[in-house]
Chain A
Amino acid sequence: MSYLEIKNINKRFKDDIVFDDVSLSVNKGEFFVVFGPSGSGKTVLLRLLSGIMSQDSGQIFMDGVCIDDLDPNERDISMAFQNFALYPHMDAFENIASPLIAQKTSPDEIKKRVQEVAELLKIDHVLSHKPKELSNGQKQRTSLARSLVVRPSVVLLDDPLRNVDAKIRYEMRLELPKVLKEFNTTVIYVTQDYKEAMALGERVGVLANSNFTDVDHPTHVYKKPNNITSAKLFGDPTINVLNASNISSGDLSTITASKITIESNNPNLKNQRDLFLGIRPEDIQISNQAHEGAIKVELRAKTPLNLRTVYLLRFEDGVEVLASASEEESLLIDDQKDFYIRFDNSNLNFFDQSESLIQ
Chain B
Amino acid sequence: MAKLIINNLNKVFSVKFGKNVHAVKDFNLNLEDGEILALLGSSGCGKTTTLRIVAGFESPTSGEIRFDDRDMIALPPSKRNVAMAFEGYALYPPLTVKDNISFGLMREKLSKSEIEKKVKEITELLEITDILHRYPSTVSGGQAQRVSLARALVRTSDILLLDEPMSQLEPQLRAVLRARVKDYIQHNNKTSVFVTHDQTEAIALADKIAVMEGGELQQLASPYDIRVKPQNVFVASFIGEPPMNMLNAVYQDEGDKINFLIKNENNENAFTLSYNKTSIDQSKIINLQNNQNLVIGIRPQKINFDSTDVNHNANISLTSNHWLGDQIHLGFELNGINIIGVADRNFSVSNSMKINFASSSINAFDSSSQKVIFNGF
Contact = CB atoms under 8 A, between A and B. Distances in A.
Contacts of A218: 323
Contacts of B176: 237, 312, 320, 322
Contact of B175 (A170, A199, A237): A237
A234 B227 CA distance: 26
A245 to B, nearest CB: 23
Interface stretch (A110-118, A172-180, A335-343): A172-180
Contacts of A167: 237, 243
Interface stretch (A8-16, A66-74, A145-153, A300-308): A300-308
A341 B316 CA distance: 40
Contacts of B178: 303
A236 B327 CA distance: 11
Given A167-B237, A307-B301, A198 B322 contact: yes
Contacts of A235: 325-326
B219 interface: no
B322 A236 contact: no
A324 B205 CA distance: 16
Nearest to B241: A306
Interface string A270-292: 00000000001110000000000
A199 to B, nearest CB: 4
Interface string B143-187: 000000000000000000000000000011011101110110010
Interface in A320-335: 320, 322, 324, 326-327
B223 A304 contact: yes
Contacts of A219: 323
Chain A binding surface, main DSSP class = mixed
Interface string A224-241: 000000001111111000
A166 interface: yes
A308 B204 contact: no
Given A170-B243, A170-B340, A178 B319 contact: yes
A174 B326 contact: no
Given A238-B175, A304-B203, A322-B175, A177 B320 contact: yes
A236 B175 contact: yes
A347 to B, nearest CB: 10
B172 A282 contact: no
A218 B322 CA distance: 10
B136 to A, nearest CB: 20
A171 B223 CA distance: 25
B203 A306 contact: yes
A308 B344 CA distance: 11
A159 B308 CA distance: 41
Given A174-B320, A232-B172, A327 B179 contact: no
Nearest to B321: A199
Interface residues of A, number: 41
A310 B323 contact: no
B326 A282 contact: yes
A305 B325 contact: no
B263 interface: no
Given A170-B243, A282-B345, A306-B240, A301 B179 contact: yes
B326 A300 contact: no
Contacts of A233: 172
Nearest to B323: A219
B171 A238 contact: yes
B336 to A, nearest CB: 12
B155 to A, nearest CB: 21
Contacts of B172: 232-233, 238
A237 B171 CA distance: 9
A195 interface: yes
A346 to B, nearest CB: 12
B200 interface: yes
30 contacts: A37-B171, A166-B241, A167-B237, A170-B243, A173-B320, A173-B329, A178-B319, A198-B322, A198-B324, A199-B320, A218-B323, A232-B172, A235-B326, A238-B172, A238-B175, A280-B325, A282-B326, A300-B180, A301-B180, A301-B186, A302-B179, A303-B178, A306-B203, A306-B241, A307-B227, A307-B342, A308-B326, A310-B204, A320-B176, A322-B175
Interface of B: 171-172, 174-176, 178-180, 182-183, 186, 200, 203-205, 223-224, 227, 237, 240-243, 299, 301, 319-320, 322-327, 329, 331, 338, 340, 342, 344-345
Interface of A: 37, 166-167, 170-171, 173-174, 177-178, 195, 198-199, 218-219, 222, 232-238, 280-282, 300-308, 310, 312, 320, 322, 324, 326-327
Given A199-B320, A300-B183, 20 more contacts: A166-B242, A166-B243, A170-B243, A173-B322, A173-B329, A174-B331, A198-B322, A198-B323, A232-B172, A235-B326, A236-B174, A300-B179, A301-B180, A302-B179, A303-B175, A304-B223, A306-B200, A306-B203, A307-B301, A322-B176
Q: What 3 A-B pairs have minimum CB-CB distances, sorted nearest first?
A: A237-B175, A312-B179, A199-B322
